[in-house]
Structure 1
């Protein structure tokens, strides 16, 4: 085991273990029970904003953007731009609305709007989508550790999953938030220094990188607009999938649900947007550079960028960069594991019980579920290595109809029948678009990605099915007010 791996692991053990132990000690000392899911709804601007930002700096942003920029160029930055838009939507829209209502999960909100059947169906699908994200984060953790150590990807992913599980296991979301705050400082200091250092350590500098693309007739890869067809297919798909899916995804909304109040969420925009949005520049530059240097390019898109960072930077800087990268990945892993565990505890097990679970029982159930999720995700990494960004946009497409039916239920009308019809139509189209490609070729829409077509179907079907619905009720936020709903914990 080399020095870099030892130091990065030591850093994570100290930060994660230290903060987790302190929260556990406070729990024992004050004779309280840790609120694994929401941390007692006490998060302030600093912890909430950084957690919101770093939760979405996961596999797609770190090594996924290196992989995509290696293949398609700077147009990959649109994935990062889409997340900046997402921060605005969440901090000014869906986050404050959902915190005002006081629910603990997105399926619980859907249940309040449309009934128990919709809650259970959406809980199962949302839980499995976020579990899919956990497997991608596990793969990317494996890539990061493998690039440092030279170990096989599968066993590197097992180690990453173990650390990621520890990130959230002891103190739940409160532990995750405080570890995030430390990791954010380390991460940004590291990538700023690394970007400057690469200017001098790259063979020929950034000028040689630019000249490579010009000489090969692929200078379009240096522009964020790329080729017109690539811009239309990738950038719009990224924006559609990220904004419509993630703005109502349990993975990120759990941070908003943990905030002290709506004001904390709105103020968090000023930190969350730049912390999230600016990060993508560095991995895209690394991917572009790696594709121009033969010794890295021959490794392929998955490992080229990661290996370049480890090879060209001095050991002390590699430790900082990898600690920051691994920290961002671990944060997303932790929130992605906590989200389905929370949904399982509150929406699948908790909602089926006549009596509410005790805090101790809920804490124990969430911890066991997180552990099982980590084990399964690590095991799957031995067999599955999908393209990270494409896999994520496909997963996001499953959550797109949630956005449209939630907006309709909050501000227009609530119809359980219409909501059910919308999600069935959208999920059916997503399956057809994924597994029967002949359909989109026959109708001449093969340029549309899953998020494109699912968003269009969701928007159209929401209007059609709500107009013809016979069971529609007034919107949840009727006449600018909101109603108190029995059973919602404030």
Structure 2
């Protein structure tokens, strides 16, 4: 434990809370729409930062690092390849997303498929996002346990409180501007750490020779199907991530949405490439440790100068806080807009919806803490959450955007089949060491296509009225 690390992390946490309190003023957040979309007036630099940092959380610096630590640099790059490939797809459809902007993904689905689909999608989205919030809480607990007298559970509770306060105060205003500060911190710490750690290893040759033999192979010891099972969840989640769609909807215009997506694409390489290199270098320097802690231990165990190590650890906390607050805000929007406002909440108005969102944030925090205690690692928790969303929601969203023949019955079938297959596969113990997406995605897509073709085609006038075809 180094005092420098604690001071830097403590200063960062206080700064983030201060930003949240600043944006909690009624002049900044006048209602539920401002809370969710920041008045749709975020600048392009802030948009790039919030897109990047919303996406990059404990699933990157802890869960993804765990994967790279155990399976090597090539497999690690495959794991993270879903990010740039998914962003490329978003780049081509960013204007379409901005044009079809809704408060939530389930609301987008309702415009095409009706109220029933919206309700089912809201429940699936909330379940998946609460799992991702839990992953951020647990990841933050790891960081605090490394640099303070707190154990992992106590650290998780501290992070949960900070994330909840940040989210419940200023909504997307506070989240977006803390993202901007965090992005600068994160990118600087990661890029600066790579040459220092490689110097500690002894250079590129010593690094390569020090890796386990399996880690130097393209698959890292995994079969092609197993590797695909780790690539797909990240890719599918990004394609229809409600957080990213809401950020693009918060852009000033369609051009800003597209430019921000391009900025996210370029800056993403400055995150996942250093994480893979740092995690695999940790496998050489510290074999046999918990892979979840691989990047973090480079700082806490003295392989980095105290100040850079402290900034890296603060960057890890930044990952956790910004991503946790984003998924928490997004799940709260499902409760407020898709459930409460839809079924009896219209009488309370925009201010009442804001109250529901804030109460929902607190409830989500409590459930996420409980869920975080169930899964043994961040990687396990994120794979489950990514899959339940990506397999169930993404096929239905892409049907809205690109397939006019999709029907309401087909969308419902995809949502239910994708979620049920994911949960069932997890309950069965993931047979063959395959992630559930290998089964859940085909089940959802086949259900969507077959049921849609067996039911009556949508009326073209209804598609035109929906405005999302």
Q: Return the TM-score normalized by structure 2.
A: 0.90
Which aligned pairs between 1:7-406 and structure 2 lie closer than 5 A?
7-14=8-15, 16-25=16-25, 27-28=26-27, 32-33=30-31, 35-74=34-73, 75-93=75-93, 95-202=94-201, 204-213=202-211, 218-222=212-216, 225-227=218-220, 229-234=222-227, 236-293=228-285, 296-310=286-300, 311-353=302-344, 355-381=346-372, 383-399=373-389, 400-406=391-397
| RMSD across aligned positions (CA) | 2.6
Contact 1:183/1:324, CA 8 A, preserved across alignment: yes
Deviations 1:307-366 (A, max 9, x none): 222221121111211222211221100101101111101111010126354222222221
Question: Could you say which residue in structure 2 is the equivalent of 1:454?
Answer: 440
Q: Given the superposition, is the C-alpha separation of residues 110 and 71 from structure 1 closer, same or farther in structure 2, using an over 3 Å criterion?
A: same
Contact 1:54/1:331, CA 8 A, preserved across alignment: yes
Residue 132 of structure 1: CA displacement?
Answer: 0.5
Unaligned runs of 5+ in 2: none
Residue 17 of structure 1: CA displacement?
Answer: 3.1
Three-state SS of the structure 1 residue aligned to 2:292 is coil
Q: Return the TM-score normalized by structure 1.
A: 0.87
Q: Structure 2: how far apart are the matches of 1:356 and 1:37?
A: 19
Three-state SS of the structure 2 residue aligned to 1:292 is helix
Deviations 1:345-395 (A, max 9, x none): 1111010126354222222221222123223433554x3343323432222
Contact 1:408/1:475, CA 8 A, preserved across alignment: no
Residue 130 of structure 1: CA displacement?
Answer: 0.2
Q: Given the superposition, is the C-alpha separation of residues 395 and 377 from structure 1 closer, same or farther in structure 2, using an over 3 Å criterion?
A: closer
Contact 1:338/1:370, CA 8 A, preserved across alignment: yes
Q: Structure 2: how far apart are the matches of 1:461 and 1:109?
A: 20
Residue 228 of structure 1: CA displacement?
Answer: 7.2
Contact 1:140/1:329, CA 8 A, preserved across alignment: yes
Q: Structure 1: how far apart are the matches of 2:234 and 2:348?
A: 34
Q: Structure 1: how far apart are the matches of 2:14 and 2:267?
A: 24
Give the count of matched residue pairs. Answer: 462
Contact 2:63/2:382, CA 8 A, preserved across alignment: no
Question: Could you say which residue in structure 2 is the equivalent of 1:409?
Answer: 400
Three-state SS of the structure 2 residue aligned to 1:340 is helix
Three-state SS of the structure 2 residue aligned to 1:312 is coil
Stretch of structure 1 that moved more, 320-329 or 407-416: 407-416
Contact 1:58/1:329, CA 8 A, preserved across alignment: yes
Q: Structure 2: how far apart are the matches of 1:170 and 1:137?
A: 19
Deviations 1:114-136 (A, max 9, x none): 11111111111110110000111
Q: Structure 2: how far apart are the matches of 1:31 and 1:8?
A: 28
Question: Could you say which residue in structure 2 is the equivalent of 1:5?
Answer: 6
Contact 1:142/1:156, CA 8 A, preserved across alignment: yes
Unaligned runs of 5+ in 1: 441-445, 486-490
Q: Structure 1: how far apart are the matches of 2:467 and 2:292?
A: 50
Stretch of structure 1 that moved more, 132-141 or 348-357: 348-357
Q: Structure 2: how far apart are the matches of 1:363 and 1:131?
A: 19
Stretch of structure 1 that moved more, 405-414 or 117-126: 405-414
Q: Structure 1: how far apart are the matches of 2:341 and 2:466?
A: 23
Three-state SS of the structure 2 residue aligned to 1:299 is coil
Q: Given the superposition, is the C-alpha separation of residues 404 and 379 from structure 1 closer, same or farther in structure 2, using an over 3 Å criterion?
A: closer
Residue 220 of structure 1: CA displacement?
Answer: 4.1
Question: Could you say which residue in structure 2 is the equivalent of 1:465?
Answer: 451
Q: Structure 2: how far apart are the matches of 1:31 and 1:327?
A: 23
Deviations 1:255-306 (A, max 9, x none): 122222222111112210122233112222222222233xx43433233432
Contact 1:405/1:419, CA 8 A, preserved across alignment: yes
Q: Structure 1: how far apart are the matches of 2:12 and 2:423?
A: 43
Contact 2:299/2:310, CA 8 A, preserved across alignment: no
Q: Structure 2: how far apart are the matches of 1:406 and 1:191?
A: 34
Deviations 1:212-246 (A, max 9, x none): 23xxxx334135x2347444422x22442223233
Deviations 1:130-167 (A, max 9, x none): 00001111110111111222521000111111222233
